[in-house]
Chains A and B, each alone.
Chain A
Amino acid sequence: MSFEAKRCGVQFTPPSIVLIYEHKETKHVRKRIIPVRNFSKYSDYSMAAERLKNHPRHRDYLEGVSQSQLEKLHIILRNHMQGFSLEHSMASFRLDPDEDLNKLDDDELARKKGQMDELFEKNRKRKDDPDFVYDLEMDFTKTAQENCSWDDESDDGF
């Protein structure tokens, strides 16, 4: 790979993905503005992200940018087209531990799950990992002592 992606963001007008990257050989840092075409407030962001990731003219530059980040950037663009603020978009990605996710619609829930998946994938042990153990057991009964603050309020059934 001769390009190293440094940062990736969006520009609203015209709708574009902005990439700051370093040319590995020359060590030059450059900015690449990739216009997002055929993308409206009704478009499927994950398809659009995939299309961009595989675009013959851009794919070499975007190799170091994950599909999920590109999806996120497309969501921000689409939200903007739908009239939502950047603040709103950012909040929808943030994980609020007190938020009741049961109340979200499919799309919003998928975004939160996408956020959670990042940690899941990071900590995931796969079958072909050398230290993979199918039946991994750990005994926590000796360590569990401290009472949990989540039990403080005396709700019914707790």
Chain B
Amino acid sequence: MACDVGSIPELDQKKYDSDEQVKIICLGDSAVGKSKLMERFLMDEYRPQQLSTYALTLYKHTATVGNKTVAIDFWDTAGQERFQSMHPSYYHKAHACIMVFDVQRKITYKNLASWYKELREYRPEIPCCVVANKIDADLKVTQRSFSFGKKQGLPFYFVSAADGTNVVKMFREMIKRALDYKQNPSDFMDEVMQELENFDLEKKENNSDEDGLKAQSPELV
């Protein structure tokens, strides 16, 4: 169980190793508007796939970047954020992270610190951004500067899922960064996982017995 982080039977997370498959996760408190942002970006394409057992919602999106078509899975929490922590499989193989807070509720901003901390435990290097949502409620907030993430150099976006301000821009830039990261991963753990998987495959080809050393989802193999 301990190393079985990728195990969601409905979801073979191994697909995220392929060049055309991207995984982007959303983090943030309840009711900051994560799903509303997805809905605004995807518009007619918006077809959430609920995996209620895992308190998880997936949104599939196809994007063309340069001359390449990529399939993007956006992972959104469906109540799991209430445990103030996400299951490791949520972070597993993610290529980028969108952190959202509600400009009307300070606590959602303050909680970014713990979300960010947890993210970095699992994914030390993936691109991440900070999104200030609901600016339509009071445009004056855009005159303020929010310093969370500045130290870490995280891009910051003022957005509104209601009127659409900067939503598409933010998603497009994050997709781009996720792809850049994928082509040039700097997470040491990624490479270790890759090595373990290769090793595992070699072992199988040599049809020796194969205890342990499986990086993920043994039951799917």
Contacts and interface: CB of A to CB of B under 8 A. Distances in A.
Interface of A: 97-104, 106, 109, 112-113, 116, 119-121, 123-125, 127, 132-138, 140, 143-148, 150-151, 155-158
Contacts of B20: none
B166 A123 contact: no
Given A100-B107, A156-B113, A134 B31 contact: no
B57 interface: no
A137 B146 CA distance: 19
Contact of B143 (A102, A109, A143): A143
B146 A123 contact: no
14 contacts: A97-B104, A98-B105, A102-B30, A102-B84, A123-B136, A136-B165, A143-B143, A144-B145, A148-B145, A150-B110, A150-B146, A151-B146, A155-B113, A157-B113
B161 interface: yes
A121 B39 CA distance: 14
Given A106-B79, A144-B144, 19 more contacts: A101-B31, A101-B105, A109-B31, A112-B31, A120-B161, A125-B163, A125-B164, A132-B164, A133-B164, A135-B169, A136-B164, A138-B158, A138-B166, A140-B158, A143-B143, A144-B143, A144-B145, A145-B143, A148-B146
A154 to B, nearest CB: 11
Contacts of A123: 136-137, 160, 162-163
Contacts of A140: 142, 158
